[in-house]
Amino acid sequence: DAGVIQSPRHEVTEMGQEVTLRCKPISGHNSLFWYRQTMMRGLELLIYFNNNVPIDDSGMPEDRFSAKMPNASFSTLKIQPSEPRDSAVYFCASRSGARTDTQYFGPGTRLTVL
Partner 1 sequence: GENVEQHPSTLSVQEGDSAVIKCTYSDSASNYFPWYKQELGKGPQLIIDIRSNVGEKKDQRIAVTLNKTAKHFSLHITETQPEDSAVYFCAAREVGSGANSKLTFGKGITLSVRP
The footprint of partner 1 (CB under 8 A) covers 4, 31, 33, 41-45, 48, 50, 55-56, 91, 93, 97-99, 101-108
| 36 to 16, 31, 60: CA distances (angstroms) | 19, 17, 10
Give the DSSP H/E element, type plus range, for residue 21.
Answer: strand 19-24
Closer of 14 and 25 to partner 1 (Cβ): 25
Closer of 46 and 79 to partner 1 (Cβ): 46
The minimum distance between CB 81 and partner 1, in angstroms, equals 27
- CB burial readout 28-51, b (16+ within 10 A) else e: ebbbbbbbbeeeeeeeebbbbbee
Closer of 31 and 82 to partner 1 (Cβ): 31
The minimum distance between CB 68 and partner 1, in angstroms, equals 19
